[in-house]
Amino acid sequence: MTKLSESEISRMHPETMALSYGFDPWLSEGAVKPPVFLTSTFAFKHAADGKRFFAWAHGEGSPPPRHEMGLIYSRINNPNLEIFEARVALWEKMQDAYSFSSGMAAIATTLLATHNPGDEMIVCAPVYGGTDALIHHFLKRNGITAHFVPAGFEAPDLVEPLINSRTRSIFIESPANPNNRLTDIGRMKELALRHAPIPAGQQSSRILVMVDNTMAGPVFAQPAKVGADIVLYSATKFIGGHSDVVGGVALANDPAILTAIAQHRAMLGGMPNAHTAWLLTRSLETLKIRAEAQQRNAVEVAAFLEQHPKVRKVCYIGLLKPEDPEYPIYCKQHTGPGSLISFYIQGGEQEAFAFLDHLKIFKLAVSLGSTESLAQHPAAMTHSGLTPEDKLLGGISDDLVRLSIGIENHEDLIWDLNQALAQV
Active site residues: 75, 128, 212, 237
Q: How far apart are CA 107 and CA 94, in angstroms?
A: 17
What is the number of H-type helices and E-type strands within the chain?
Answer: 16, 12
Exposure pattern of 103-126 as b/e (b: 16+ CB <10 Å)? bbbbbbbbbbbbbeeebbbbbbbb
User: Which of 147, 215, 157, 208 shows the shortest CA–CA distance to 181?
Assistant: 215
The answer to whether the beta carbons of residues 86 and 19 sit under 8 Å apart is: no
Alpha-carbon distance of 369 to 243, in angstroms, equals 9
How far apart CA 316 and CA 302 sit, in angstroms, is 7
The Cα 19–Cα 204 span in angstroms is 36
- Nearest-Å Rg of the Cα atoms of the chain is 22
Distance CA 329, CA 338 (A): 15
Instruction: Report the alpha-carbon distance of residue 126 to residue 117 in Å, rounded.
Output: 24
Dist CA 259 CA 343 (whole Å): 41
